[in-house]
Structure 1
Amino acid sequence: MALDSDTLAQFLDALDRFVKERLIPNEALVAEEDAIPPALVQEIREMGLFGMSIPEEYGGLGLSMSEEVQAAFVLGQTSPVFRSLVGTNNGIGSQGIIIDGTAEQKAKYLPALASGEMIASFALTEPDAGSDAGSLRTTARRDGDHFVLNGTKRYITNASRADVFTVFARTNPETKGSSGVSAFIVEAGTQGLSLGQPDKKMGQKGSHTCDVILEDVRVPAANIIGGPARENQGFKTAMKVLDRGRLHISAVCVGAAERLIRDALAYAMERRQFGEPIAEKQLIQAMLADSRTEAFAARCMIEETARRKDAGANVSTDAACCKMYASEMVGRVADRAVQIHGGAGYMAEYAVERFYRDVRLFRIYEGTTQIQQVLIARNMIRDAAAA
């Protein structure tokens, strides 16, 4: 359900103030300590950020896609780790339950996810299955009214703090592709579920990933998202949430790019060389102009695609275009921002150094650039053949 324009404006204004007054001032601390302070996590809960996309009837804000990307534009202007904290609750960790979950699953999990009382984690990637998710090896063997899960999931965001996991496992060993895979709701603390050591990453300090290890984990068949009737339908559920996730990440990329442009412009206007601010130098101006133009183009793509999605259009191809373009765009903007800062841009005291590393991940997760290219082209060919 969309908010009325006044309520949306008030929320976005409050979010903007929160980002500027509470999140940005804590970026360096979070990066240094590799953790978000618990008091700040509580403030994020109180802002309602864990439930932006969860329906109001379950305690969320119920933002439409158009409204969610506006919020992501704002949230993206601070360290990506804050968005990562709430991202799975709003996206892949909850949307499967929202779209395909049973009434009991929705009532049990969505209110706790919306409030941030529970943290969700999405366990799909494996040591030998990432972009080729259909090749996953985690198994789910039927045992009466339960399934027994075995396997290892890798690079799982928020796993160390998660209360509930969406785990994809192969329930039909006769199939090698995605058609024999089911999506299970598995609560933390279930016997046989354990976590690996925290991953040491290039960037995004404060956002934690690690392996999720499943050793004879018994899960009721009723914990398949949508119930037992949706056995072997897990990837169909996953595909339904991809468009929203791609648009959300795209909007975060735009927010990050706009932050980088603002920081680079401020530095260029202050830094003097050859008797004048470097902002007066045409080659610096070219980098600023290119960055502003590309960020604006991405924003327009995302807003238009979000509007069409809200109107009920099939936007799978366009959402992939947005994700590919925006994630590549923010990488170029980050590189220019470092270049404009010169030697200072290589120093940790400036945020552009951290953002340069942080935004590199956007081209990889939620579908690599190369996967988006393949998807876009295949859809083009399919549509042309059907015309």
Structure 2
Amino acid sequence: MTHPAHPDSAGQMLRAVLRLPHAARLALSVFLLGFGLSLAIPFMALFAVEEAGLNPLQLGLFLSLNAVSAVLIATRLARWSDRWPSRKPLVLLTIAAGAMAYALLGVVRDFAGLLLVGAVFLGTGSAAFPQVFSLARAALQDVPGDLAERAMTALRSVFSLSWVVGPGLGALALAGLDFTGVFALASSCFVLSALPLWRVPGRAPRAAVGPDRPSAGPPRRAVAWSALAFVLYGMAMSMGMTFFPLFVTGTLNQSEGLVGLLVGLCALLEIPVMLALVAWRRPPPVARLVTAGMGLFAVHFALLLLAQGVGALVAAQVLRAVVLALLAGLGMTYFQGLMPGRFAAATTLFANTGSVGSMLSGITAGAWAQAFGYRSVFLLCAALTGAAWLLMLWRAPSGAASTDGEDRPVGTPPGLLALPSP
């Protein structure tokens, strides 16, 4: 198969990414998957309380069980996926589980049944995100130069696009179709997301990494410290997302409509920044960009901490969009570079850091806000992301390395350094 030569301009770079094998199919699948999630997830707590009648304790148990099972199941499936000759059966299994989960949520209302649906089907379906992205990375492992990494960032921007349009349409669907209709639409999106993947090869890495064959990447300690940095980032992300609306309306006395505008502004700006990363001819190394993203996130929270009016809030959201583009777009690539050839394990580890960060953030942020107020939460977020930035400064020289241990820039032409491989 002939792959595009390494492009020399931003426009050529984007066209080369679009011409990669299976790019259109993967983009369509990722969009449908993200669209299904964005229809349902924003209304999950509302469904549990208003439709299923769960009390606050039951709601907490339901959401916590979902998160824990998602981490455990995704981790186990990732280990299997990187060892099997074809990863596609597991990809389709996770998509089917997600479709079944939302179909069941349309009819199940008792607490025990919801726990079962959450632990088994939602937990397995949550692995669809890392499994689809690992399938994409494995399918593109032989393309020249850094085009595979750029393609992964482009796919992540497609996923972000689905979340720009999904929640609003989900709210309209909820008004017209109730929760059963919303979950039916989400289930249908999962089913449709599987169709474009039938012709995408479910390839294993060129040389699978197993327990008897150690990875050629950096030692486990480097991976562990990087994962810790992303857990801290995930904690700050979850805390900020939870308390930002309360801060804007309760502390600054602004309207709920302004909250929606600011969140929408961030989501809209995130996509062109990601596409700019795809088109950037010779960017710095991935690890350096990820480290910069951690530092910028600390600045974002400092702006919120000092904010007194709308201008500072807008500036903070613009900065947040850049951070999300860097860390959501390149974080996956960073971990795939740390764990050469182990695409599913790396992508799942990246996703799990966010899940663990969210689990740790709830009680921490609640207790902190109760003691010191909503604004002070952003001080805690700034401290967490500052600590993550320091960890990345410490680990970045060996992060996102290629197989020869060097920190390869995203834009390195083919022939100078090899693509990450086992």
* TM-score normalised by the chain length of structure 1: 0.34
Q: Which gives a bigger RCO, structure 1 or 2 (Cα 8 Å, sep 6+)? A: 2
> Which is helix-richer, 1 or 2?
2
* TM-score normalised by the chain length of structure 2: 0.32
> Which is strand-richer, 1 or 2?
1
